[in-house]
Chain A
Amino acid sequence: MFDRTSVPRVGHDARVDTLPPVGGSATDPKSGLIIGTRQHGDAVVVECVGGIDVLTAPRLTEAVATALEQRPQTVVVDLSKVDFLASAGLAAMAGEGTRFRVVATGSPTFRPLTMTGLNGVLAVFPTSAEALAT
């Protein structure tokens, strides 16, 4: 349908395919998003690699819900390895308590957070170390 000549892709597939799975959660590189969950003291870190869109956002919602079940002091959603974040993914992070933190640095994640004003609602940190520090 489209002319799909060999064009270098910007991020996306190659990066997801070559990175080792994080944590011990279910991983499926073909779906475009890998989610790993790890305990860090009183916090649970939900680390995402790949793209978060309508297709993959439900898995982030599920991972966050599972993390919250453990009643941790803090849930950190680490988006530092996410190269696409749609509004469907923002919904997975909205409306949570004060102990809900997001790690976002690059424009693919930081831009949608700021454009929707969510960076003023959620606690956004540049690194997971800083999100876990306080």
Chain B
Amino acid sequence: MGMNGISRERIADLRYRGRASAERLSALRRDLVDWSFRAGLSQGRVEAVALAGYEALANAFEHGYPDDGVGMIELHATMGDERLTITVTDWGHWREPPADPGTRGRGLVLIRNLCTHADVAPTDEGTTVTMIWDLAATPHY
């Protein structure tokens, strides 16, 4: 049973791998809303998933896009029994947020506040952001 007494459906993973664009990002956040709503999450959690997921996608878009114009991104959302995991991967160049938090710093703040556990893993090839929601826990927001 979900948090609201709604039984959470077994739902197929949500996946996207392809070019990033501002338009694509907007479409993907709507897909995240549809997907998490269909999975039986509460309105508050649906909003949290959409915002955190979008911020990670926007971050990935920023890494890949400005330098080489290729901007490949990957989104994977999967629902376990009481755990929702979203990973966003890019193959661009990780850049540390500037001292002035600005937009990018705020995006990471949102990601860390919206999910139960967040991990940003820069690698030689790019960056993977992993966001986990423990659905049995009471949201802290």
Contact = CB atoms under 8 A, between A and B. Distances in A.
Interface residues of A, number: 30
B24 to A, nearest CB: 9
A132 interface: no
Interface stretch (A1-9, A19-27, A62-70): A1-9
Given A53-B54, A54-B61, A115-B114, A10 B29 contact: no
A86 B33 contact: no
A126 interface: no
Interface string B103-134: 11011011001100000000000000000000
Interface residues of B, number: 38
Contacts of A12: 30, 33
A111 to B, nearest CB: 6
A59 B101 CA distance: 22
Interface of B: 12, 14-16, 22-23, 25-26, 29-31, 33-35, 37-38, 43-44, 46-48, 50-51, 54-55, 58, 61, 101-104, 106-107, 109-110, 113-114, 141
Interface of A: 1-4, 7-10, 12-13, 32, 51, 53-56, 84-88, 90-91, 107-108, 111-112, 115-116, 118
The 9 nearest A-B residue pairs measured at CB = A55-B22, A87-B106, A87-B107, A91-B103, A115-B113, A116-B106, A54-B22, A55-B26, A7-B34
